[in-house]
Amino acid sequence: MLGGGLDRDLVGDVQRYEPYVGSVGAKLLTTRQVRLTTAGQVLLDQARIAVDAVHAAARRARRAGQPTPQLVVAVKPGGDAGLLREILAAYQGTGSHLPPPEVVVGGSGEPIAMLRDGRADVALLRSPFDGQGLDSQTLVVEPRLAVLPAGHRLAGRRRLRLTDLKGEPIPRWKGAAPSTTAYYTGCDGAEAGDGHTGLTPADTPEGPLVASVEQLLEVVALGQAVAFLSLSTTKRHQRPDIAYRPVTGLSPSAVMVAWPETSRSAAVAAFVQAAHDVAADQPDHMTALAF
């Protein structure tokens, strides 16, 4: 730290980004404790976004200039609600003039990171996510279910209320933003301030830290926590030591197709249209409980 104030790396960032925007006509650093001024913090935040966007555009341009360009689609396991194969078939059926799709499956948080840094052209994401700099379209909205150990005191009920789970430990996802943590713990209604009578952060003790659905299911099966997962995800992970139950008052899960808001790619447009068409043909069970 410099003078008990600012990390050397941040000072370097401010000095490095300033040439991109020229003279800003404002003082960026204080002199005594070497801290960011308000103007310096704004410059740092906005410059990072701008420079990252330039780097992402350069990466996409390099990929587009390859002898055999591809449309890179990013998705995490289970993040497509079972739609991806149909979307790819619909996209490939639109014409041979479009580049072939390459699907990259990443862990939690990776698809959106790939979209932002130019490694991917389009992604299938589950809400919530930071949509800054992105355009998106909702494909399907499906309910979430409570995930309980098979021997849990509530596993014998056909349907739960969100408040029934008050005091139960809930896993935390590695690297999740506060708004995302609120969603995964069923507390997002409390943050919205909409007269919510469900769970608050004080009602949900921290369970184990997890990085995948498989890990989450293991800690639940061991009785270390309860959790919430989308309907399509629970159908893919049926096991005798886990019970899934509908929950009244729990927010749903939305699967969305997202792409950079600056994209002018015909391939991206074709993929988004294919995703829209496939989602429009989904049967009613995509948004209804089948239990």
- Looking at the structure, tell me whether residues 245 and 164 fall in a common domain: yes
User: Do residues 217 and 198 touch, judged by C-beta distance below 8 A?
Assistant: no
Same domain? For 128 and 30 the reply is no
pLDDT of 279 reads 95
Q: Which of 63, 78, 96 is the last residue of a domain?
A: 63
* Side chain identity at residue 117, one-letter code: D
In-domain check, residue 283: yes
Nearest-CA neighbor of 265 among 61, 89, 90, 55? 61
Domain that holds residue 216: 144-251
DSSP state of 157: -
102 and 55 in a common domain: no
CATH, residue 274: 3.40.190.10
pTM of the predicted protein model = 0.74
Q: For 62-115, write each residue's pLDDT tens digit.
A: 666 666 678 999 999 989 999 999 999 999 998 778 999 999 999 888 999 999
Kindly state the tokens that stand for 119.
């490694």
Give yes or no: residues 202 and 220 share one domain: yes
What DSSP character marks residue 198? S
User: What is the tens place of the pLDDT at every residue in 183-241?
Assistant: 999 999 754 444 455 799 999 999 999 999 999 999 999 999 999 999 999 999 999 99
Residue 1 resides in a domain: no
Of the residues 63, 84, 100, the one at which a domain ends: 63
2 assigned to some structural domain: no
| Total count of domains within the chain | 3
Within this chain, do residues 265 and 127 fall inside the same structural domain, yes or no? yes
Same domain, 87 and 217: no
51 sits in which H/E element: helix 38-64
Identify whether residues 103 and 43 lie together within a single domain.
Answer: no
Q: Is residue 172 part of a domain?
A: yes
154 shares a domain with 93: no
H/E stretch holding 263? none
Residues 130, 192, single domain; the answer is no
Residues 175 and 120 placed together within one structural domain of the fold: no
Q: Is the pLDDT of residue 162 over 50?
A: yes
110: its two tokens = 């990776």
Same domain flag for 107 and 168: no
Asked which of 63, 78, 107 is the last residue of a domain, the reply is 63
45 and 103 share a domain?
Answer: no
